[in-house]
Amino acid sequence: MTDTIQVPSEAQVAAEPVPRSAFLDRDHSIVAFNERVLDWARRPSVPLLERLRYLAIVSSNMDEFFEVRFEPHLAARKLAVREGFYSTDSYLALTEKIQQLVATQYAIYNDELLPLLRDKRIELVTHGERDPRQGRWVRSYFQREVQPLLMPVGLDPAHPFPQVANKSLNFIVRLTGRDAFGRHNDIAIVKVPRSLPRFIRLPAAKGSGKTEFVSISSLIRSHLADLFPGRQVTEFSQFRVTRHSDLAVDEDEVKNLRTALRKGLQQRHYGQALRLEVSAGCSQHLSDFLLAQFELPPESVFRVPGPVNLVRLNQLIDQIEAPELRFVPFTPGWPKAIGVGQSWFSCLAQGDVLAHQPYQTFDAVLSFLREAVQDPHVLAIKQTIYRAGARSELMELLREGVRRGKEVTAVVELKARFDEEANISYAERLESIGAQVVYGVVGLKTHAKMLLVTRREGRELKRYAHLSTGNYNAGTAKLYTDLSHFTADKDITRDVDHVFMHLASQNRLPKLQRLLMAPFHLHKAMLAELERASQAAREGREARVVLKMNALTDEPLSQALIAASRAGVQIDIICRGACILPAQVPGLTDNVRIRSVIGRLLEHTRVFYFRIDGQEVLWLSSADWMNRNMLRRVELAWPVTDAALRQRVVDECLVAYLQDTRDAWLLGPDGQYRPAQPPARKRPLSAQQSLLDRYGTAH
């Protein structure tokens, strides 16, 4: 991220668009987001095991960053060329920033969290700390459970460097002496099977009161010599390589997308190497050897003083029985507009229902679908599937709907990143019992979240719809903030039906009355809303824009926000992650205020609010303001027309977050984020906590 923003001259101000140099770097912004997440790992007010989990979250985020975003930077570094945003300088600057993030991460792990765990009598016992009793147990466990699964590979012309899977744990070993054939091959590789647990609980000493663990890397490190009888291990290091993992399938060339993706999944684990992680004490000889094998430049090495995969800390956390070291659990509330056990169809006949997840339970969505499946008057169910999770009750309900004779149509997005395999499986299971399964539009991901139920009521067919800002995933629905909108509105449900027909038939989309759909209308409509606000401000009328989203990286929309700011529109943006738009830059974005809220829950709602002369328009959406969402995906935005529900969204999703002084970070004109500060002598406010208190029941 740049330290200073290049403000256009007066001549440039009059011209459009503003130069690219006015924007913040997207990839640096993603790293900065993870710095804000990491802040939760160092907060004393956060329960200890949750602090440890935030370390794992950052590691998971950065793994995906390398797998998806880093390849163009490395390519530019290797070729010493500039390709658009990518160059050797961009590679070096980004790598340095990530190295700093990783150093901070391990410092928190080693210097803060491990000592605090020891204070709670929870210990990770290292090789040098084990007493004789523990050493005997570890040796026995290694010989019984681990050694039979290890296959050390000595490298020679007949045994070249083995294929190393993406993000797998491995050891490189340097040996003295000769092998069984009298040769001096001195390098061996030991792969650690993924089936082995990464943390093993040690039997507690009688009366110690301790909970003790050993990591699999420490356990193997202690017994490497057992794998090479007759030879001496002189050097060793654990290592892990991260590879490019974004599946690329030319949909215009393949005849069967599902088959092509299944083949691509087999190769995903062995894409181009992008990052090498080794132990902090790894010798230069071994790290140089690995770099040469993976064809990586020296800057690609990350030397870490601890486990090379902190994501696996989740296995440790899950084994510790200490509820006092976790967030106080809460039970989400039920939407007040519908009584438990009341018919959704009779309720929606009276008006729309809004559920704010996870403060209100995702079970409401399952209840809606369950009633549709069981109701003999329901004739058809149509649903989009993007990320449904590994074991999905929702998918089982759709299968039950088929068995009960409903016409079930599922639009399954096969290219949902890292969910491809699960979605292929769901598609095949649904097809096998007679559901109509379609895969959307060639070249576009279907990211819209919609469920449509058609029911016979007397002489007419009536439609009921559920639209959401988030996925149909019961697991993530406990952690992600999202809005579920249930409606029987004739215009909206007719539009939803048109969208389903379009996705299945590939016919031209009829004119929609209420919905905005990407890639056709959404981008243009948001640009038009910003221009409408700009025109009002230029005429001296009130113009206010408040936007909540996960990412803001689309340049035309950013240009339009700058133009609106210059016109005098007051703009507040609540953007959790990547953001290329600078804030509060004189002459550029004086009227733009940007904040990021990082809390216990992952902010996921998308809300677009425009007010001109007191007239409000509010949209909920599945889309962020990113180029891919606007132009390369099927997305939806829909209006909230009920005044009471619209005010509720404004209060809970916008006003509460604009007042947050505990979990919010403010973007400054220098491109840096700083924690929001409460007014003098005022307690910090947390939007998430206030909503948990309002809707949930702590227990």
Domain chopping of the chain, boundaries: 22-325, 331-512, 518-698
Of 511 and 251, the one with more pLDDT: 511
At what angle are helices 26-39 and 48-69 packed, to 10 degrees? 170
User: Which overall architecture, per CATH, does domain 22-325 show?
Assistant: 2-Layer Sandwich (3.30)
| Six token digits for residue 334 | 């039920």
Q: Which residues pair with 544 in a beta bridge?
A: 570, 611
Average pLDDT on 71-81 reads 90
Q: Is pTM beyond 0.85 here? A: yes
Peptide bond into 162 cis (omega under 30): no
- The 3-state DSSP class for residue 190 equals strand
Average pLDDT along the chain: 90
Identify the CATH assignment for 518-698 out of 3.30.70.141, 3.50.50.60, 3.30.870.10, 3.30.420.40: 3.30.870.10
Which pLDDT tens digit goes with each residue over 21-42? 899 999 999 999 999 999 999 9
**Catalytic annotation, pick one of 28, 356, 447, 466:** 447
Confidence of residue 395 (pLDDT cuts 50, 70, 90): confident
CB 175 within 8 A of CB 232: yes
Tokens of 104: 């901070």
Q: Which two tokens stand for residue 651?
A: 């209060």
Residue 201 CA, chain-centre distance (Å), reads 30
How far, in Å, CA of 436 to CA of 430, rounded? Answer: 8
331-512 folds as Endonuclease; Chain A (3.30.870)
Residue pair 544/567 in contact by the 8 Å Cβ criterion: no
Known catalytic residue: 485? no
Give Cα separations from 472 to 32, 63, 297, 419, 476 (angstroms). 29, 24, 42, 13, 9
pLDDT in tens, 112-170: 999 999 999 999 999 889 999 999 999 999 999 999 999 999 987 767 899 999 999 99
Asked if residues 313 and 680 have their Cβ atoms less than 8 Å apart, the reply is: no
- CB atoms under 10 Å from CB of 200, counted, come to 22
In whole angstroms, give the CA distance from residue 134 to residue 136: 5
pLDDT digits (tens, 9 = 90+) for 461-479: 999 999 999 988 898 999 9
Only one residue has tokens 């790894």, namely 282
Instruction: Note whether 22-325 and 331-512 share their fold.
Output: no
What mean pLDDT comes out for the span 95-103? 97
pLDDT higher than 90, residue 288: yes
